[in-house]
Amino acid sequence: MSQQTATHSNDNPFESMMSRFDEAARIIGLDEGSYNVLKSPQKAVIVSIPVTMDNGTVQVFEGFRVVHNANLGPSKGGIRYSMDVNLDEVKALAAWMTWKCAVVGIPYGGGKGGIKCDPRKLSKGELERLTRAYTDLMVDVFGPDKDIPAPDMGTGQQEMAWIMDEYSKLVGYSSPAVVTGKPLVLGGSLGRVEATGRGVMVSTRSALSKLGISPIGCTCAVQGFGNVGSISAKLLQMQGMKVLAISDVTGGYYDANGIDVEAAIKYRDQNNGTLEGFKAQKITNEELLELDVTVLVPAAMENQITADNADKIKAKLIVEGANGPTVAAADTILNKKGVMVVPDILANAGGVTVSYFEWVQNRLGYFWTEERVYRRADRVMKTAFEAVYAASQKYNVSLRIAAYIVSIAKVAEVEKLRGKFGL
Ligand code: GLU
């Protein structure tokens, strides 16, 4: 089969995704037809978005939306605003969403979008015009039963509110279920903001229990202090863990006695969103990854753990809060060292799980309590972890390959049942 001979380079996220896909496909003996269907996105839309800037000039931004697969349901996935956005990255992120939704068993396919821009350099008005114009151009792609965006790096509740409003205007009625991660007053769900970090915490607890390690007093380091990193750190600390280091774009912050995460969040919120100047020993982001801690949570971005630094990692457990933080070449090194890795498509699936709950609540027109959201989301995460763990035992593979096995098998089965080949 062609996938057995494919080779993939290191730092291209799509190639990185394909390496794992190839390995899992080979192990389950995926037939060539399914392999060929699942390796390519079903749809990739590229748009040029003209925006009148505050100074009166017109700037054109490049925007993307990729639907990797919509077999299990409408495609689901965030929209990223970053200067690094490119088609290969969005394709990889869309495929990861397919596997992520399948692994936690929610009725969605995978999609992702992005705009190549630096949101910190745009005014609120420019961001609004950009987001609305992008929505106008994607009106045939988006839809509550077709493709449902959500926040990702560089976007949040405000962008989702603009998307909801613009889409609703275009279709002529209020359509909250077209997008998730909305502000509460606009049909958002309780617990959505904390959802990814909470899922990271639940996965960490499940993994620690398999390793026979108590969370009480167990040390950890968290890379990235955005929504996912900061909430993961806070919730891990609440489990009795000692957070020795945190980091953001301004570098790493270390305290041998443990960082006060609540204080760091407060500091960041009053300091233009960064930790610059936070009182702790300054280290680099690279040093953070190599700290002598039990648990490492990379929650920043892709390609952080590579063939160059994997050997220096001392953590016993890595829980991937970010999408694609470990390149494929590092997997082999970590496996050899006996490091347990809870892969991104499982570890950070709490976010999309509560997005699903938000969509359900929007369609019901009936809202759940926070307690109900947490209880159901925790159950989804725990059940998915156990299924992936069981597959890793059955096939004698890492949790990452096991997660791909579980999800690819599911998506391929649905592809067959629906008989979509050749249509
Ligand atoms: N952007 C998040 C992720 O990568 C959430 C996606 C969603 O809620 O649809 O999982």
Distance 356 CA to ligand 1 centre (A): 10
pLDDT at 53 over 70: yes
Mean pLDDT, the chain, integer: 95
Residue-range definition of the domain harbouring residue 337: 195-347
Residue nearest to atom 8 of ligand 1 (CA): 352
pLDDT at 40 over 80: yes
Task: Round to whole Å and give the CA distance between 332 and 8.
Answer: 14
Q: Which of 82, 104, 159, 196 to mutate to test the pocket of ligand 1 (most atoms within 8 A of CB)?
A: 196
Distance 199 CA to ligand 1 centre (A): 12
- In the block, which residue shows the tokens 């993939």? 8
Query: By percentage, how much of the chain surpasses pLDDT 90?
Result: 94
To the question of pTM greater than 0.85 for the whole model, the response is yes
Residues 6+ apart with CB under 8 A from 413: none
Q: Which of 17, 75, 96, 97 to mutate to test the pocket of ligand 1 (most atoms within 8 A of CB)?
A: 97
- Kindly state if the Cβ of 324 falls inside 6 Å of ligand 1: no
pLDDT at 80 over 80: yes
Phi, psi (rounded to 5 degrees) for 270: -100, 5
Residues 6+ apart with CB under 8 A from 121: none
| Same domain for 256 and 317 | yes
Residue nearest to atom 9 of ligand 1 (CA): 77
pLDDT at 374 over 90: yes
pLDDT for the residue numbered 111? 98
| Same domain for 213 and 129 | no
Distance 152 CA to ligand 1 centre (A): 6
Domain contains 358 = no
Question: pLDDT tens digit string along 250-303?
Answer: 999 999 999 999 999 999 999 999 999 999 999 999 999 999 999 999 999 999
- In this structure, what DSSP letter does residue 280 have? S
- Kindly state if the Cβ of 150 falls inside 6 Å of ligand 1: yes
Distance 5 CA to ligand 1 centre (A): 32
- Kindly state if the Cβ of 149 falls inside 6 Å of ligand 1: no
Residues taking part in catalysis: 112
| Same domain for 203 and 169 | no
Domain contains 16 = no
| Same domain for 200 and 171 | no
pLDDT for the residue numbered 416? 87
| Same domain for 164 and 133 | yes
**Helices 370-395 & 195-211 angle (0-180, nearest 10):** 40
pLDDT at 89 over 80: yes
Task: Transcribe 363-393 into DSSP letters.
Answer: HHT----HHHHHHHHHHHHHHHHHHHHHHHH
Cα-based distances in Å from 354 to 108, 249, 330: 13, 27, 30
Q: Which of 107, 142, 177 is the last residue of a domain?
A: 177
Distance 317 CA to ligand 1 centre (A): 23
- In this structure, what DSSP letter does residue 74 have? S
Mean pLDDT computed over 95-102: 98
Mean pLDDT computed over 177-202: 98
pLDDT for the residue numbered 12? 87
Domain contains 57 = yes
- Kindly state if the Cβ of 75 falls inside 6 Å of ligand 1: no
| Domain tally, the chain | 2
pLDDT at 177 over 60: yes
| Same domain for 247 and 124 | no
| Same domain for 278 and 167 | no
| H or E element that contains 198 | helix 195-211
pLDDT for the residue numbered 286? 93
pLDDT for the residue numbered 423? 40
* Sign of the dihedral through C-alpha 169, 358, 296, 331: negative
| Same domain for 168 and 293 | no
Check if the beta carbon of residue 93 is closer than 8 Å to that of residue 65: no
| Same domain for 156 and 121 | yes
Mean pLDDT computed over 106-115: 98
| Same domain for 231 and 159 | no
- Kindly state if the Cβ of 78 falls inside 6 Å of ligand 1: yes
Domain contains 15 = no
pLDDT for the residue numbered 7? 43
| Ligand 1 atom index nearest CA of 149 | 9
Cα-based distances in Å from 420 to 42, 66, 144, 413, 423: 12, 19, 22, 11, 6
Q: Which of 177, 208, 240 is the last residue of a domain?
A: 177
pLDDT at 233 over 60: yes
pLDDT at 9 over 60: no
pLDDT for the residue numbered 229? 98
Check if the beta carbon of residue 218 is closer than 8 Å to that of residue 237: no
More reliable by pLDDT, 8 or 319: 319
Residues 6+ apart with CB under 8 A from 220: 204, 233, 236, 241, 242, 243, 244, 293, 294, 295, 296, 297, 315
| Same domain for 219 and 157 | no
Question: pLDDT tens digit string along 311-350?
Answer: 999 999 999 999 999 999 999 999 999 999 999 999 999 9
CATH for 206: 3.40.50.720
- Kindly state if the Cβ of 331 falls inside 6 Å of ligand 1: no
